[in-house]
Amino acid sequence: MNKAVISGSGVFTPENIITNAELVTAFNAYADKWNAEHAGAIDAGDVGPMGHSSEEFIVAASGIHQRFVMDKVGILDPDVMHPLLRQRGDDEPGIMAEMAVNACQKAMIQAGKSAEDVDAVIVAASNMERAYPAIAIEVQTLLGIQGFGFDMNVACSSATFGIQAAADMVRAGTARAILVVNPEICSGHLEWRDRDCHFIFGDVATATLVERGDLARDGSFEILSTRCATEFSNNIRNNNGFLRRSRPDGVQDRRDMQFMQNGRKVFKEVLPMVSKHILGHLDDEGIQTDQLNRLWLHQANKAMNDFIGKKVLGRVPETGEQPNILQDYANTSSAGSIIAFSKFSDDLKAGDHGVICSFGAGYSVGSVIVRRL
């Protein structure tokens, strides 16, 4: 069996930032408009008025201060409340492929590799912009890579599940190097008209190059072990899909065609699942928590990460041990833990250990134990 390493990583960050202040102003204007339009029903007691959102609530509940998005004009327009993206022709690169290519190029530069060194592309993300052909094949072609590509979706855990698939193929000799790329346009499936969740997500793309150890640069991260687990839950769900038009009111503007979650339940059920998963994985690999130098966690909620960090390390993590990026990026689904890894791994020394862990809808949880070479 070959050794598999992560030899490069990269982040594509969109140009547009939406601050909590901008987000709340737009939402509250939308809520006022909605209340005026439904004044009769509200007065009759048929529906309740839509409450305002608040910056204080968002920061206290999530730790999020801003998010990057591919388009902010539509999201912040009270008459639109979703991103407005240019319709692209079939003969030009799709928006997901374009974001993915940017992140892949950064990962390849860090790894010191070019297209001829890479044998496959896995696009692992929460949503694909079309049914087929696979976005991964488009990315592969745009980068000039021979070999193969495929898409996979395990929602927020897509990146770690993708790394496991790539590492297994590299170990088995199926490929020398595989790009695992996570283009996440979360603004497309977020319900910006719902104050319970309108602050949660942002857009980004991340990439990792999973490569055969003997071919990789010094200072790569050896993948010691990966572990994936899933357990069915409806507490994070989106009913949009290819059968939409076949159902009686499927094409209506229905709330369940965007992201829905029972946040409290997710909190209560996912936290123990994740802590147990990481601790069990480390234990089975014979790694003590005091040998752990870094935790790159999924970036959904600050309180969640504080809890997991404390549970795994058995103490409050010291500054830098468990870096958060969610204050700047919000929840970027599968890309969150990889942004943290990409931005906060350079300082680790040879022999240092870390865990990349993502978790979310499914439920799903994936962990990747790495050691700096």
Query: Which residue of 182, 226, 275, 301 would you call a contact of ligand COA, by CB under 6 A?
Result: 301
Residue from the set 11, 18, 50, 58 that interacts with ligand COA by CB under 6 A: 58
Give the Cα separation of 158 and 164 in Å (integer). 10
Contact criterion met (CB below 8 Å) for 181 and 205: yes
Residue 17: CB minimum distance to ligand COA, A: 19
DSSP states of 200-222: SB-EEEEEEEEEEGGGSPTT-EE
Choice between 301 and 367, CB closer to ligand COA: 301
DSSP string covering 298-365, please? --S-HHHHHHHHHHHHTSPPPTTTS---HHHH-B-GGGHHHHHHHHS-TTPPTT-EEEEEEEETTTEE
Report the nearest approach of ligand COA to the CB of residue 333 (Å): 6
The whole-angstrom separation of Cα 299 and Cα 339 is 9
Catalytic annotation present for 156:
yes
Q: Using an 8 Å Cβ cutoff, are 154 and 364 in contact?
A: yes
Smallest separation, CB 332 to ligand COA (Å)? 10
62 binds ligand COA (CB under 6 A): yes
Helix, strand, or coil here: 293? strand
* Sign of the alpha-carbon torsion through 262, 50, 52, 190: positive
Does residue 266 bind ligand COA (CB under 6 A)? yes
Structure tokens, 241: 């899909």
Binding test (CB under 6 A) with ligand COA, winner from 13, 127, 208, 261: 261
Q: Which is nearer to ligand COA, 97 or 304 (CB)?
A: 304
Sheet holding 203-212, edge to edge: 148-152, 120-124, 177-185, 203-212, 4-12, 221-230, 364-372, 353-360, 292-297
Judged by beta carbon, residue 221 or residue 259, the one nearer ligand COA is 259
Q: Which of 22, 196, 269, 328 binds ligand COA (CB under 6 A)?
A: 196
Which of 311, 306, 222, 233 lies closest to 265 in space, CA to CA? 233
Which of the ranges 3-11, 58-66, 240-248, 314-322 carries the binding residues for ligand COA, by CB under 6 A?
Answer: 58-66
Q: Counting contacts by CB under 6 A, is residue 54 touching ligand COA?
A: yes
Please give the residue whose beta carbon sits closest to ligand COA in the complex. Answer: 263
Looking at the Cβ atoms of 61 and 279, the one nearer to ligand COA is 61
Binding test (CB under 6 A) with ligand COA, winner from 195, 277, 371, 372: 195
Output DSSP code: residue 198.
T
Which of 170, 325 has the CB closer to ligand COA? 325
Instruction: Answer yes or no whether residue 53 interacts with ligand COA by CB under 6 A.
Output: yes
Closer to ligand COA by Cβ: residue 16 or 20: 20
Helix pair 302-313, 263-284: axis angle to 10 deg: 30
* Residue among 352, 373, 363 at smallest CA distance from 157: 363
User: Tokens 């860090």 belong to which residue?
Assistant: 110
Which one of residues 22, 29, 42, 57 is an interface residue with ligand COA (CB under 6 A)? 57
CA-to-CA distance for 361 and 352, rounded, in angstroms?
Answer: 30
By CB under 6 A, tell whether 300 contacts ligand COA.
yes
Q: Which is nearer to ligand COA, 183 or 360 (CB)?
A: 360
User: Total binding residues for ligand COA by CB under 6 A?
Assistant: 22
Query: Is 61 one of the binding residues for ligand COA (CB under 6 A)?
Result: yes
The reply to whether 360 sits near ligand COA by the rule CB under 6 A is: yes
Contacts of 318 (CB under 8 A, 6+ apart): none
**Catalytic residue ranges:** 156
Q: Which residues bind ligand COA (CB under 6 A)?
A: 53-54, 57-58, 61-62, 156, 195-196, 199, 236, 261, 263-264, 266-267, 300-301, 304, 331, 360-361
